[in-house]
Structure 1
């Protein structure tokens, strides 16, 4: 059996994907692993570039799978997961990530020694190797209304500081979705990613479900990975709306109908006044008027692409 299956998604950023794959190959020397790359309906030129580069690497443990529909983060990873071979561990890693050291072997050892931990991650740093917050507090109506900073001040034990640089492993609500290392058994037990979510909050949902089966989420700050943020997802009102749709969905799922309605009213008031200053935010306010239903998601606007 393999030690590790690594899944990553490409979406119109083939050069970043190849750099990610090469960093894995270079740094991962102690484990028996495979890499599955999912192309999430990239444009033809980008996919062909990716296909050609992967062929040139000519590795038996590297597989490319083409989806002709952009299925988003969770479903894209589940497509990749379905293509993996049996392994004890699985990692979901963004394609805009590059390894700095052999972090997989450290993460494996930590999970081997800590059966009560469900998902772990190294510390994220940016292109200049500067610290980037990697832990966070569960998506909730409290976090949105009172802010993270207030929660950390009021209850620092429950809400450890996100922007603090830690030197020892620390338990958190969830870690950044750009790098998640889990036991295959635990991932299967919770049913994998929630495929109703197209983008955003998949990691908070995942860690909540792991917590429900008694599994912790832990950051290992003694190892790092480089994350080139936002290469495939550009900021826009459509992306902002997608983020809020996912948030309302996750809050409703884990905190209940009333909590999601409180948050919806809060956003309605917030975006009403925002549109007075910035009319381009009208779609956000309009979405609150109809309850921010998931049928507004970008998931339902994707079109099939052939190679």
Structure 2
């Protein structure tokens, strides 16, 4: 059996995806692994560039799967997961990630020795190798209204500081979705990624469901990886709306109807006043007044790419 199946998604980021794969191949030792790359309906030029350059690498343990529809982060990863061979562990890794340390053996050993842990991750740094917060607190109405910093001040034990450099492994609510090393059996038990989420909050949803079966999420800060943020997603009101749609869905799913309503009222007030200053934010207020329904998601606007 393979030790590890690595899944990554390409969406118009072929050069970054290639750099990610090269960094894995160059630095990984002591672990038997495979790599599955899912092209999530990139434009034809980007896909052909990726395909031709992967062929030049001539890696027998690498598979490229093309989707003719942009299915988003979670479903895209599930497409790749369906292509994997049996392995004990899965690593979902962003295409804009590059390995700095030989992380996989360390993470594998940690999970082998801690059966109560399902997900682990190295510490993230940016393209300048500067510290980036990698742990976070569950998406919740409390976090949105009282802020992360407020929660950390009120209950330091329950909410460890995100912007602190740790020297030893620490249990967190969840870790950044850019690098998630997961025991396959635990991932299967919770049913994988939720297909209702197109973008954002997939990792908090995964870790919440794992928590319900008694499995923790842990940061292993003695190893690091480089994450170049935002290569495939540009900031816009549409992207902000997608974030809020996912947030409200996850809060409703895990905290219930009342929490969902509290957030709707909060966002309604917030976006009412922000729209007076910046009318371009009207779509956010409109969506809030509608209840942030998932049919407004970018998922519903994707078109089949026949190329």
TM-score by length of 2: 1.00
Shift, 1:246, TM fit: 0.2
RMSD over equivalenced CA pairs, Å: 0.4
Cα offsets for 1:76-109 (capped at 9, x unmatched): 0000000000000000000000000110110000
Q: Aligned residue for 2:140?
A: 140
| CA-to-aligned-CA distance 1:255-293 (integer Å, 9 cap, x gap) | 001100100110010000000111100000000111000
Match of 1:210 in 2: 210
Residue in 1 aligned with 2:268? Answer: 268
Does the residue aligned with 2:89 lie in a helix, a strand or coil?
Answer: strand
Aligned pairs (5 A) from 1:211-290: 211-290=211-290
**Alpha-carbon separation, structure 2, partners of 1:269 and 1:103:** 45
Aligned residues: 307
Q: 5 Å matches for 1:49-128?
A: 49-128=49-128
- Report the equivalent of 1:10: 10
CA offsets per residue over residues 176-226 of structure 1, 9 Å max, x none? 000000111000000000010000000000000000000000000000000
SS at match of 1:177: coil
SS in structure 1 of the partner of residue 156 of structure 2: coil
CA distance in 2, matches of 1:172, 1:116: 13
Instruction: Name the residue aligned to 1:150.
Output: 150
**How far is the alpha carbon of 1:29 from its aligned partner?**
1.4
Q: Could you tell me how far apart the structure 1 residues matched to 2:165 and 2:278 are?
A: 36
Quote the Cα distance in structure 1 between the aligned partners of 2:141 and 2:154: 16
TM-score of the two chains, using structure 1 as the length reference: 1.00
- How far apart are the structure 2 equivalents of 1:118 and 1:260? 28
Q: Which runs of 4+ in 1 moved over 3 A?
A: none
**1:35-67: per-residue Cα shift (whole Å, max 9, x none)?**
000000000000000000111111110000000
Answering whether residue 35 of structure 2 is matched by residue 39 of structure 1, we say: no
